[in-house]
Structure 1
């Protein structure tokens, strides 16, 4: 409902954008200013250069600039510039505002399903079935369907999601601990963290973006709602996920308290690379720091493990992997055809320079060996590649979070009270379920 109001609220502005200058531009070669014909459909007019702007959350120097430079060199008639937004609440608000107010956004990257869903509902994501010359299912494989909305694609998933556990292998060896098996549990993780902690080294750090990964992984497997349509956010597995973290913070003291981590804006990835934590749960984006041995020198080798399950039952857990970096085309772009041409090239190999920062392309047309080589970026000897390949190329049941952003916010408000010691676990879970049920009733179609 909020998304619809958001769309209506910005309608007059968007109309003004469309009537005045459009949301994409075409300019004569070497000219400034210029304006695309509203009905050009994205095809470049003779003697004109189409200008596209792509928005994404990755720093330009970590691959995107190399991507657009390569494209621009090969395609003088369609020139692309890159605009970076930070992939957090403030950064996504910046992108959403740009979409709403008609600023230059031709293509943009979605990092979660709730964000994509909201943008689709507000009319800011083009239905890609308008372009029948490319099969997303064939190119990207079965995990692509997790990004469909009502059976259609409003963005193209372009990379393999790699969300896993990073381990200081030297610390493991010192403690006599093996690299964890693929089917380990959070009870195992808790034991590892307790054995690996030292006075100046945390046992475990969890990157803020991954904080609810294990809870989502279990809740997605059993269902965010029960068969009767009511909330399942208070499922026993969710309770286990919150409780094990709280106990590690307060009893084991093997990980920092939630309050300490949030208020200090703890740089978890940097701390891990400095040896100040033995285990880090985070995404593939850490590669852009771990490969940079000049700014992040380290003497230890890094090993990898899957995110542990909350129970030993393999049917009660899915993995936060699959595909990601879903690129959408703005329906208000005056150059949709040109944007689509760029997007196909980007997905089928043009994005390969992003592998240096950990983003492995998902298209079957991409050379996987070349991408892995770029992923490790000359620092191959500093990784336990056997464990990496088991995680990267393993076949696991995956999920994409389908909870609406409002429900994610509700859940966060309640679990923060618990993790900060302001509310007991049962009350927090009951409140989550009640507020989720209220949301479901209010948004019944």
Structure 2
């Protein structure tokens, strides 16, 4: 049977490699669509959780996993030899930056090398990890060819950028349009068949490079506009203008304006990282992407700005940062999720600690700091319980993320100083001088 036909008839077996915030929704989507779906991960705890019908990501309920497991369609394993059972493999592994802000493709390369010995003719291999244009051809296809497999003939290679938005109730994995690019026309045909079996709308493009750059453009657009509004926030503060009021007023224009909001820095796996994948690759072609790099510089500087504003606010109260008790509210990088990846709160914690402050955090979505690549020093730290006693002993509370679960009325009543980076206190009655925007 032709590979594409296996997905039209729901006979194909789908393997998803990497069971994080992208991979878990994806493997569940295929199981729910009636396919036998196998999740692969090097972390045995993830495979064990799925086999037990449990979710390890807060915004994905246990019931979804349990239902998929009970249907007999969901499986999970750490055994990469089982790649041979699959008709399609979708790779959803991290693509971080190294210490020099250059792409770190070690997870992609390691995954490819792990699956290559178990591949067989007729399979579809799709890369979803965000990366620079050319990665699929340069890293994936070359290794497949070295193993004797030919893209478009013996195997079908595509790139389809992930578009997950953790915690967004309006958009789940399957109702977000899916961009797909193939190495050859035959690859594209197979990739479209794979994804249209589970996704509502497919957007085919002419090559993997186009699909790779599409993903970068989406997140560079956000990074640049957030950088712009962050820079305006600093200027507005100096002029004693409320940037949030300015944004509200500008948003009334029915055309030509999209609202972006300032904050303490960028978080998540995509927006802080993706622009640097393009700037790095562009240098290979003699192009210096100054605009993008400037936005990155502004956004990376926001934690320092928040720390400086906090220092000023403490100084006005006759206190220094050194020895002050500072509570960070919100460890997740965005509201109402448990996703800590690239959270600017870590940069704030690191900065205040260097200045000698006593640091705690409160986040109902992140009860304990898990292991991270860049902030291992904080692993194991527990969220401070929300009590009046714990709040009243703080010299300053910094709101880094605005979770709906936060009780802002109690925060206002129990705190001596609030540094608000998210305009979270705008609708809460506060006494004069309590809140400093940053």
TM-score between both structures, scaled by the size of structure 1:
0.27
TM-score between both structures, scaled by the size of structure 2:
0.27
Higher helix residue share: 1
